[in-house]
């Protein structure tokens, strides 16, 4: 009997969609030309790039010349923030972001703080939402950039990006949003939102790893991050990663086309999982917003147990989940996002994130609901923080 394997870590990364793979494949060994070359091999590659750029533009509601391919979501975030900061430092040195951004944003901001910039990190409420009032109050004459993520990678909370964009526009401040997790799970139309810069990453939407996109609204003043050849209209250098660009194009197209159907299915699976856990396991707390949350995000704190132990036990049962962001699960610190929504250190340590994807089924959910309670129970019995009362009732 092969063990069941249930992958519910789709916020960390996703498998490449078969249709995406199929379109990428010829660009490794057959149409391998460099798009900058003028011969037929190069023109084939260039043509594929153009088509992919059109698809991404269509998926985001952008113009094709506002779409710039990067080497990752992280690079898109770095570029947006450093590029705007350095290009506009004549106008001011103040940046506003939040305490719950991805490290790609936070560590970039910390780096800028070392180079003469001032950064305000907005608080969030217990559900992970920023306060528009606090945002308004944080704005100064020297504010040149607001960067607030569209949806959080750990707890799935969605921010009011449209209203943030309005505030930013009113004050003449650039607004960037990290939409890496939102893409595919929320409708994104850059013009409707009114955002100036927006980052996405292919590997979160069944595209390949190592390719991102930065949407840059026409007219934005931004420095380059990676200097060199004339690729991406002289704004992002390096031989184009044609196969990955093709993959990003197809993945973005599928994400936009399937959005409604996908989120409907994810929401139903998500709620089955959330309800099932609350029913079966005492002393759990749903992290994130009850309604303004990504359709595929489930994040619980399990009191008295530590997340890694939970993860490894689930892994032995074939269930791949995460404890906080993919990037923090290797670290020892509890997630900055969970602390920002007010969890105690020990509760933050006991968090479990399950992020659903295309491949998941109701059977997967039921399997998790069958495996998870005894695992939580065993670890709680090992825990000195937890005492089981004799009558089978649970107390602390």
Ligand X SMILES: Cc1ncc(COP(=O)(O)O)c(C=O)c1O
Give yes or no for residue 77 binding ligand X (CB under 6 A): yes
Site pattern 314..353 for ligand X (x: CB under 6 A): ------------x---------------------------
Question: Which residue number, 18 or 392, has a Cβ lying nearer to a copy of itself?
Answer: 18
Q: Work out the number of other CB atoms within 10 angstroms of the CB of residue 303.
A: 20
Among the listed residues 226, 317, 327, 369, the single catalytic one is: 327
Give yes or no for residue 111 binding a copy of itself (CB under 8 A): yes
188 binds, among other proteins, a copy of itself, ligand X, none (CB under 5 to 8 A by kind): none
Does 389 participate in catalysis according to the annotation? no
Among 27, 55, 56, 73, binds ligand X (CB under 6 A): 73
Among 332, 390, 391, 396, binds other proteins (CB under 8 A): 332
Task: Name residues contacting ligand X, limited to 155-214 (CB under 6 A).
Answer: 178, 180-181, 201, 203, 212
H runs (alpha helix) in the chain: 18-24, 26-29, 40-60, 73-87, 103-114, 132-138, 161-171, 190-193, 231-234, 242-257, 259-280, 307-316, 336-340, 345-349, 362-382
**Spatial distance between the Cα atoms of 212 and 249, rounded to a whole number of angstroms:** 10
Give yes or no for residue 309 binding a copy of itself (CB under 8 A): no
Contact between 322 and 329 (Cβ < 8 Å): yes
Give yes or no for residue 385 binding other proteins (CB under 8 A): yes
Give yes or no for residue 42 binding a copy of itself (CB under 8 A): yes
**Spatial distance between the Cα atoms of 122 and 148, rounded to a whole number of angstroms:** 9
Q: Are strands 394-395 and 174-178 parallel, antiparallel or unpaired?
A: unpaired
Task: Name residues contacting other proteins, limited to 231-260 (CB under 8 A).
Answer: none
Question: Which residue number, 288 or 307, has a Cβ lying nearer to other proteins?
Answer: 307
Which residue in this structure is represented by tokens 């109701």? 362
CA proximity to 317, closest of 240, 391, 373: 373
To other proteins, the closest distance from the beta carbon of 348 in angstroms equals 9
**Spatial distance between the Cα atoms of 97 and 203, rounded to a whole number of angstroms:** 24
- DSSP per residue, 223-285: --SS-SSSHHHHTS-S---HHHHHHHHHHHHHHHHTHHHHHHHHHHHHHHHHHHHHHH-SSEE
Task: Name residues contacting other proteins, limited to 22-41 (CB under 8 A).
Answer: 38
Cα-to-chain-centroid distance, residue 200: 8
List beta partners, residue 146.
96, 175
Contact between 301 and 333 (Cβ < 8 Å): no
**Spatial distance between the Cα atoms of 379 and 372, rounded to a whole number of angstroms:** 11
Among 14, 44, 72, 93, binds ligand X (CB under 6 A): 72
Give yes or no for residue 7 binding a copy of itself (CB under 8 A): yes
Question: Which residue number, 116 or 389, has a Cβ lying nearer to other proteins?
Answer: 389
Give yes or no for residue 16 binding a copy of itself (CB under 8 A): yes
Question: Which residue number, 149 or 274, has a Cβ lying nearer to ligand X?
Answer: 149
Choose the binding region for other proteins from 169-177, 180-188, 212-220, 342-350 (rule: CB under 8 A). 342-350
Give yes or no for residue 208 binding a copy of itself (CB under 8 A): yes
Give yes or no for residue 43 binding other proteins (CB under 8 A): yes
To other proteins, the closest distance from the beta carbon of 304 in angstroms equals 7
Q: Which residues bind ligand X (CB under 6 A)?
A: 72-74, 77, 102, 104, 149, 153, 178, 180-181, 201, 203, 212, 238-239, 326
Residues forming the active site: 327
């Amino acid at each position: 009997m092969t063990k069941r394997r249930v992958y519910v870590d789709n916020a960390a990364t996703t498998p490449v969609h078969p249709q995406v793979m199929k379109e990428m494949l010829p660009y490794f060994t057959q149409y391998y030309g460099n798009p900058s070359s003028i011969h037929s091999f190069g023109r084939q590659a260039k043509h594929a790039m153009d088509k992919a750029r059109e698809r991404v533009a269509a998926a985001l509601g952008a113009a094709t010349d506002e779409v710039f391919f990067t080497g990752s979501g992280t690079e898109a975030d770095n570029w947006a923030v450093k590029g705007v900061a350095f290009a506009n430092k004549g106008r001011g040195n103040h940046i506003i972001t939040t305490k719950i951004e991805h490290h790609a944003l936070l560590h970039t901001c910390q780096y800028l703080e070392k180079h003469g910039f001032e950064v305000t990190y907005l608080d969030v409420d217990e559900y992970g939402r920023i306060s528009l009032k606090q945002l308004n109050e944080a704005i100064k004459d020297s504010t040149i950039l607001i960067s607030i993520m569209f949806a959080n990678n750990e707890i799935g909370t969605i921010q009011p990006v449209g209203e943030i964009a309005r505030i930013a526009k009113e004050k003449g401040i650039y607004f960037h949003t990290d939409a890496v997790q939102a893409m595919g799970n929320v409708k994104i139309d850059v013009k409707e939102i009114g955002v100036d810069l927006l980052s996405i990453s292919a590997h979160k939407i069944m595209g390949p790893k190592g390719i991102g996109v930065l949407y840059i609204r026409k007219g934005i003043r931004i420095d380059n991050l990676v200097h060199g050849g004339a690729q991406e209209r002289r704004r992002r250098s390096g031989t184009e990663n044609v196969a990955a660009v093709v993959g990003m194009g197809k993945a973005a197209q599928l994400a936009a086309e399937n959005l409604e159907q996908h989120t409907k299915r994810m929401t139903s699976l998500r709620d089955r999982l959330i309800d099932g856990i609350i029913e079966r396991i005492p002393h759990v707390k749903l992290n994130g917003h009850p309604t303004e949350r990504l359709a595929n995000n489930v994040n619980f704190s399990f009191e008295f147990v530590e997340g890694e132990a939970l993860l490894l036990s689930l892994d032995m049962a074939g269930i791949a989940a995460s404890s906080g962001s993919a990037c923090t699960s290797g670290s020892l610190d509890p997630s900055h996002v969970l602390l920002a929504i007010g969890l105690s250190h020990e509760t933050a340590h006991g968090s479990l994130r399950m992020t659903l994807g295309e491949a998941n089924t109701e059977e997967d959910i039921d399997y998790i609901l069958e495996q998870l309670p005894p695992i939580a129970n065993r670890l709680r019995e090992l825990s000195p923080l937890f005492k089981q009362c004799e009558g089978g009732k649970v107390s602390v």
